[in-house]
Structure 1
Amino acid sequence: MKTLPLLPLLFACLTVPGGPVLAAAPPPAAIEGLDALYPELDALYRDLHQTPELSLQEERTAAKLAERLRKLGFEVTPKVGGHGVVALLRNGKGPTVMLRTDLDGLPVEEKTGLPYASKTKSKDAAGVDVAVMHACGHDVHMTSWLGTATLLARTKDRWRGTLMLVGQPAEEIGAGARQMLADGLFKRFPKPDFAVALHTVSTAAAGTLQFTPGYALASVDSVDVTLHGKGGHGAYPHTTVDPVVMAARTILSLQTLISREKSPLEPGVITVGAIHGGTKHNIIPDEVRLQLTVRTYKPEVRKALLAGIERIAKAEAMASGAPRPPDVNVTEGTPATFNDPALTTRLVDAVGKVLGEKNLSETPPVMGGEDFSEYGRAGVPAVMMWLGITEPKRFTEAKAAGETLPSPHSPVYAPDRERTLRTGVTVLTTAALELLGRP
């Protein structure tokens, strides 16, 4: 039997009101169903956007996706690592390709003014009532992911292997990937040969894609430092051990880890985001608490900075005559996200034939974090690509004016819906077809 081409040039169908987004070309069978499918995806997106759930509370979101995947013929396992969903579509011998989406929203009050804006309220982990919004594009990720699942389920004659759909909870708190792996994600289910994910960005126009080979996102660690002093009256500081001064010296000394102990060629950030101490103008407190975030790419730099923070805190306490050493607690966040360079090149080449090379661009790594990194650390070649969301004319105008567009986690974060969703589905479907086996 003649082998059917997986990735002929396509995209004639990818149009939105106002004209075509990208260069037209005949679509392959796997994508040409997108026009008919789009109204269903649009309705799903609006529903997901209006009904976000906080991290570790994604029960209804997971159930909606699981139900749709079952109807498509996937073997669906819910409640993996909390509210995680794993869905398998087996289609003969071939690679196992994992597509991951995140499920959770953020405690942000939406101010987009959209007719389908979220008005959801919920209680956070502390029991406080908060507004909830998909302010990081997870609704786009889920809709693109389900659209890809639908198209591939309907065109099984075009590929071979196992499609593995992972709906991951608790990305926003850096816990979901670890929880799913701890619950046997790669032991109870096939360990994938490849893992692919998208993340929305406002720094690119809708209809375009950005990529970063190698390190793309930083590791994230939270460090809590409690410096102990001896409290007393502010008029008699000689009778005290002042932890406020101790904290000030510590904060300044910590920056020498970046400027004097780390190679200037290796990225690293130490930010003291919060200082808590004291109650009144004339009272020297017994203690001061510092909250730090630490960002790096390479494990050895991460290890050196964390060790240095503890060393400096202890040294400053000793130099101040503190009654006891400081408490230094490190909460592991997420490791750095490393995009497998060979896999990145392969996917960029495949997607470029579909979107047109002018609609793809390489972008520098950033110091944000993402727990998609956990899958790569577990031994799976992985790539996360950046999906543009900003309406093209708006993007051009903002760039010309030097205007900063709303970033993820902003209350006005709003994708150019149709262009973004169509491109997300097309990119994920193209990536899956490139990696799955041929008939």
Structure 2
Amino acid sequence: MTDVRTAPAPLPEALRLDEELTQTLHEEYVHLHRSPELSMQEHGTAAWIEARLDELGIEHERVGGTGVVGILRHPDATDGPVVAYRADTDALPMKEDSGVEYESTARGTLPDGTDVPVMHACGHDSHVAMAVTAARVLARNPETWHGTVVFVFQPGEETAAGARAMLDDGLWDRAPRPVAVIGQHVMPAPAGVIAYALGDAMCLADSFRVTFRGKGAHGSMPERAIDPILLASHAVTRLQGIVSREIAPADKAVVTVGTFHAGMKENIIPDSAEIALNVRTPTPEVRDTVASAITRILHAEAQASGAPEPEIERYNSFPRTHNDEGTTRQVMAAIGAELGEDRIVEVPQMMGSEDVGALADAIDVPLVYWFLGGFAATDPAENPANHTPQFAPLIEPTLTTGVRAALAGLLHFVGR
């Protein structure tokens, strides 16, 4: 049996954020926002996290390259429940245009050597700041809890590489195994609101990189060419029919062609073209159907053009994000007792994707993952979306709400 509180109650007074803690939370968030790093390159962020854990006397080690696991053990006992809290750390190759005074001007280098602007366009800076603050509050108030809290600062969420890297590096052999993994993600919902989904909370996701090979020629002599741009264009159009004609209306899926690269000059037919696709599906069955259709269409269009077989690379595959229904209801009740039940909203499965589920699935324990509103408008469609240059959550009430939610969720397992 999991050792949890059965009667949800607000946080103890000792765990409230005072003015000093709140100011530190804000300052740390601004620092992280100004210091974004690309996936699996979070060296400065990891060092910063380690410094904060050192200040708190929390044991820690690097896991998975730029991942950090902090193990907060209660000072008076080595037994008791264990719960894990995950915060992702990476940023995106985007130029920020949010207008905040602490806007990022950082730059980074993609794996292919391209120099790019970098920003925290998905709120991972807030996730790290809130996790560090939750650790700080618990470390200073051991009388309010018992057991062990494992803080997993995970790199590479945006590429689905980070959770797998930590697991492959022996995460759950090097840290105590928890009875559950919990975490949260800031979204373009109203600040102060917590949203959650039961069961499958987010979609599976896969990316495909496709290279079409043709035959180059002068633009004035198309008869001598096998035009890969025409071939790729037909494929892009045909791919859009998968969701509307091969997926049942009761199911859902997204097939997006996000990049199309070909040629260097308008009067030269190139010998190759490259596209990249992003696919979101709700279940493994729909994932297989869509992947099979993509492969069939790409090969068929190449054959129709008299071109060689295309090169298809599948990468950035995200696992399921499945919230255990019973545990999620309990944790949401605990968070509702702290924030108010009117601020807790159940939502359907989201089309976004995450790799946090791999951390729980690897050891077959429940996952509880919820969404934290961070913007002013009550209609989410009016707020900046994740992965856009304008994405910069309100500092308040977003950050303190997130810390309170994190602490309430953790104390559901380790609270006295």
TM-score by length of 2: 0.89
Contact 2:88 2:124 in 1 (8 A): yes
2:69 to 86, 103, 114: 86
2:170 to 177, 184, 191: 184
* 1:148-199 residue CA offsets vs partner (Å, 9 max, x unmatched): 1122222323322210001111222221111111111112222221111111
1:166 and 2:144 aligned: no
The SS at the match of 1:385 is strand
Q: Where do residues 247-396 of structure 1 align in structure 2 (5 Å cutoff)? A: 247-322=232-307, 324-378=308-362, 379-391=364-376, 395-396=377-378
Q: Where do residues 216-235 of structure 1 align in structure 2 (5 Å cutoff)? A: 216-233=201-218
Q: Report the counterpart of residue 51 of structure 2 in structure 1.
A: 67
The SS at the match of 2:94 is coil
Q: Report the counterpart of residue 199 of structure 2 in structure 1.
A: 214
Contact 2:204 2:353 in 1 (8 A): yes
Supply the distance in 2 between the matched residues of 1:307 and 1:99 (Cα, whole angstroms): 36
Contact 2:159 2:316 in 1 (8 A): no
The residue type paired with residue 183 of structure 1 is D
1:34 Cα offset (Å): 4.2
1:221 Cα offset (Å): 1.3
| Cα RMSD after superposing both structures | 2.6
Q: Where do residues 38-117 of structure 1 align in structure 2 (5 Å cutoff)? A: 38-77=22-61, 79-91=62-74, 92-117=78-103
1:281 Cα offset (Å): 4.6
1:35 Cα offset (Å): 4.5
Q: Report the counterpart of residue 408 of structure 1 in structure 2.
A: 386
Distance 1:238 1:62, change over 3 A: closer
1:9 Cα offset (Å): 4.4
The SS at the match of 2:382 is coil
The SS at the match of 2:104 is coil
1:194 and 2:180 aligned: yes
Aligned pair count? 409
Q: Where do residues 129-144 of structure 1 align in structure 2 (5 Å cutoff)? A: 129-144=115-130
Of structures 1 and 2, the larger Rg is shown by 1
The residue type paired with residue 43 of structure 1 is E
1:427 to 398, 405, 409: 405
**Unaligned stretches of 5+ in structure 1?**
11-26
The residue type paired with residue 37 of structure 1 is L
TM-score by length of 1: 0.85
Supply the distance in 1 between the matched residues of 2:238 and 2:155 (Cα, whole angstroms): 38
The SS at the match of 2:396 is helix
Supply the distance in 2 between the matched residues of 1:274 and 1:41 (Cα, whole angstroms): 38
* 1:94-127 residue CA offsets vs partner (Å, 9 max, x unmatched): 3221111112223333333433333334444344
The residue type paired with residue 68 of structure 2 is V
The SS at the match of 1:306 is helix
1:71 Cα offset (Å): 3.0
Moved more, 57-66 or 348-357: 57-66
Give aligned-pair identity as a percent. Answer: 41
Supply the distance in 1 between the matched residues of 2:20 and 2:266 (Cα, whole angstroms): 67
Supply the distance in 1 between the matched residues of 2:104 and 2:218 (Cα, whole angstroms): 50
The residue type paired with residue 223 of structure 1 is F
Q: Report the counterpart of residue 24 of structure 1 in structure 2.
A: none
The SS at the match of 2:371 is strand
Contact 2:5 2:412 in 1 (8 A): no
Contact 1:169 1:176 in 2 (8 A): yes
Contact 2:160 2:316 in 1 (8 A): no
Supply the distance in 2 between the matched residues of 1:284 and 1:121 (Cα, whole angstroms): 34
